[in-house]
Chain A
Amino acid sequence: MTAPAIEDLLRELTPQVLGALVRRHGQFEGCEDAVQEAVLAATVQWPDGGVPDNPRGWLMTVASRRLIDQMRSDQARRERESATATEVAPEDVPDTDDTLILLFLCCHPTLTAASQTALTLRAVGGLTTAEIARAFLVPEATMAARISRAKQRIKAAGSSFSLPDGAEREERLQVVLHVLYLIFNEGYTASSGSELHRADLAHEAIRLARMVHAQLPEDGEVTGLLALMLLTHARREARTTAAGDLVPLDEQDRAKWDRGLIDEGIELVKASLAVPALGPYQLQAAIAATHADAVTARETNWPQVHALYLILERIAPNPVVTLNRAIALAETEGPVAGLALLSTLDSDERMAGHHRLLSVRAHLLEKTGDAPGAYEHYRRAAKATASIAEQRYLESRASRVRPRATSHEGAGQRT
């Protein structure tokens, strides 16, 4: 088996082994460390020594031994009576799928988003601390401390290893979906740095969303989130030039869009819209599907995009949604209508000086023919963004509408 295939296998087995171990011994905290050590041992041993016949059983045995060693040394340190834990026989893992319970635990509401994403990637995604640290561009020690702190908090919160019921389950699921969405976004547009695609994280988020979807196929929002990820990921090749410059949606070469992902995404959107209750992910996926349906940017069904944003704005009011609706409105009723809608956001503190508000306004001003206004707003947006790729894009838009040099300045230039 190749190293990437081993990696895939380990990532798939991690939550299964962890779930089974926690069911047997309790203490999520210690079990999670033990599974991580077993995964690391497998990464070292399997490529050369070969994958064992029963990889799940192997991981379970190694993790159990680590856990028991840990429990014993803890006991010794506390000078208590020795070993109550017994060695477990190398047996296979039961078939219960604990992925959801683990996700609920890792996305515990008392944790910060940064901790939730890190713990989810390790405990459910099966990534090593070093891999997660690399993905988020921090030292491994930083990531290790963050994960360990997160587990202490979960322990302190006294969570049980079971699925929450009713309304709490619904709320907690929202947190899980948000965390998966954040992981995807981190992979899609790095929040800092010059690297626009961190494909691994986007890929991981899709894989985790697929796992949740397999568990909850009837949940419209889970389906919607998976569809949204697939439809967005489908555009990745078209989103940047070879030089790494951003290409806006209307200028993308749609032949580079991944048809397979789009077809799968559209099917999921259709399925999710058949379920009565509509949620934000379903609507965003429906918007992405509308864009994916257009063979050229010109053929985009903007009235439909606008109508979808309008519903989204009603069920989940948010200035960024209004901002996006303004773009759609400008396409259906003209840039002046879009600018009028944007002006309703000026008093919103969350959007004050936000680069997205500045850049959309710049774009719409450009469409009305107000080059100086567009230039000023593109420049301000370029200063406000924390993304180098976006800054480069905004600077290039600014130079396209830069007011012409005065005759004095231009006098020395050759034509």
Chain B
Amino acid sequence: MIDPPYPLFYTFNFYLFGVIALASALAFVTRKSPVAAALWLVNVMFALAALYVMLDAHFIAAIQVLVYAGAIMVVFLFVIMLLNLGHPSEIADVRGKWGKAAAVVLGVILLAEIAVVSGASIEPEWIMPRGEMERLLAEKGAIGVVADPLFTNYLLAFELTSILLLIAIVGAVTLGRRPDAADAAVAPIGEGSINAG
């Protein structure tokens, strides 16, 4: 990112992608069809990836597109397709008048809380000197900036993440298979066309 004052082109693009993200998020929560909602959420993620590039987080922008829009949202769409969530009883899912009123009140309270918290003062010595991020990017590259702290200060957390992913894989497989899957998976293959052929 360029230090202030920002060029008009930069400011315009920042606001453009911000408005796209906000409008897509609003479209996402108001769509009745789960598939349309998922596609609007993908749009939010692409707009956020563009903002990450403008905020000098190039590697994060790349994995935002690859992991979030590419992997996680595909899993969501796959489950929506698998469960065939198109029929009317599933589509009419927005809560009634009181539910909406409570949600709007809570949303306004939350925004007010965030506005109050954002006024908190920040210690000036925490802020990097001006131009430090550009120097780091030029010295280490976009991936090195993330990889350097990840494999030094946060190495233990990184290793624990691999255990978390292993537990998640085992959990998803255990939860997702049918109770009688062990029998059902073997039987049809033995009786099928493989033996006949």
Asked if A pairs with B, the answer is no
Residues of chain B whose beta carbon lies under 8 Å from any beta carbon of chain A:
none
